[in-house]
């Protein structure tokens, strides 16, 4: 989603106004997680995205050997794998990688490709309004690993769902379905605050952001607005493969059907 300061500010105000837990600074939130669960059970959840990398940077200042978790869905962008590998070496990260028991392609064969979350209403393709691939590839490995506490890069302003999650449950809470405590140090940060922190601390960035993407996640995800345009521009071969798996024309083929492409 494009950077929209007005919408972000409104979401942050909502989350701050209704937050049922004390509002902590990012570092104090990290320290609270560590003090509550100790070094063995406290993990930084790192996706390779900007938000979780900023939180990881903060957490390493608190404890240079803090446990870090990368949940590898098997369909991360190549740039993400490279970024994870390089920064793990450069920052000497105490990294553990989790992997799912199944694959993205097996899940979508049974449940279909991800849709926008509002589209799951009155369908049998989701248990709780979320794509089944997220549950099998992201949540199941965490549940299986019996992780008790994760420190995340989730921000309230990123989506309405996250706004209401923070507003209703707080900056830290136990996710009952996951049986895990989650702490969100930068829950109330705007995108500007995030980018200012990254710039001030000269934190490296995943190259995926310079390729037209504003998010870091599974490359074949079709559950967000603009995925076609973003993937077609940054990774055309992967885009063609994905559309073939979906049995749909590519954007270029759509244009050709409308007579928009020249005869070559």
DSSP string, 4-35: -HHHHHHHHHHHHHH--S----HHHHHHHHHH
DSSP label of 207: G
* CA nearest neighbour of 50 among 172, 201, 169, 166: 201
Answer yes or no: pTM beyond 0.85. Answer: yes
User: In terms of residues, how long is the chain?
Assistant: 264
DSSP state of 122: T
For residue range 187-234, list pLDDT tens digits in order. 999 999 999 999 999 999 999 999 989 888 999 999 888 999 999 999
Summarize pLDDT for 58-83 with one digit per residue, the tens. Answer: 999 999 999 999 999 999 999 999 99
**Extended beta strands in 23-84, E state:** 42-45, 67-71
Categorize the per-residue pLDDT at 264 as very low, low, confident or very high, splitting at 50, 70 and 90: very low
Domains by residue range for the chain, with CATH: 5-225 (3.40.50.620), 227-264 (no CATH)
Nearest CA among 76, 70, 86, 116 for reference residue 213: 76
Q: Say whether 221 sits in a helix, a strand or coil.
A: coil
- 130 CB contacts (<8 Å, ≥6 apart)? 117, 120
Nearest by Cα to 128 from 168, 175, 76, 191: 175
């Amino acid at each position: 989603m494009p950077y929209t300061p007005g919408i972000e500010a409104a979401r942050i105000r909502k989350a701050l106004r209704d937050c049922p837990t004390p509002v902590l600074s990012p570092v104090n939130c990290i320290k609270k997680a560590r003090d509550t669960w100790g070094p063995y059970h406290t993990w930084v959840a790192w996706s390779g995205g900007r938000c979780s990398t900023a939180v990881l940077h903060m957490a390493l200042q608190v404890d240079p050997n803090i446990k870090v978790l990368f949940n590898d869905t098997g369909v991360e962008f190549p740039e993400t794998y490279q970024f994870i590998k390089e920064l793990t070496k450069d920052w000497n990260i105490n990294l553990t990688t989790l992997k799912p028991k199944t694959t993205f392609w097996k899940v979508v064969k049974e449940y279909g490709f991800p849709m926008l979350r509002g589209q799951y209403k009155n369908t049998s393709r989701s248990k709780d309004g979320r794509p089944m691939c997220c549950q099998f590839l992201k949540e199941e490995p965490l549940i299986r690993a019996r992780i008790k506490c994760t420190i995340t890069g989730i921000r309230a302003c990123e989506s309405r769902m996250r706004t209401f999650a923070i507003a209703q449950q707080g900056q830290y809470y136990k996710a009952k379905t996951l049986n895990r405590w989650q702490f969100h140090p930068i829950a109330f940060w705007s995108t500007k605050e995030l980018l200012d922190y990254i710039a001030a601390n000269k934190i490296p960035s995943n190259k995926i952001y310079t390729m037209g993407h504003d998010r870091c996640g599974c490359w074949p995800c079709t559950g967000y607005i603009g995925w076609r345009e973003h993937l077609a521009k940054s990774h055309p071969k992967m885009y063609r493969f994905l559309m073939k798996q979906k049995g749909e024309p590519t954007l270029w083929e759509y244009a050709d059907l409308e007579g928009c492409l020249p005869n070559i």
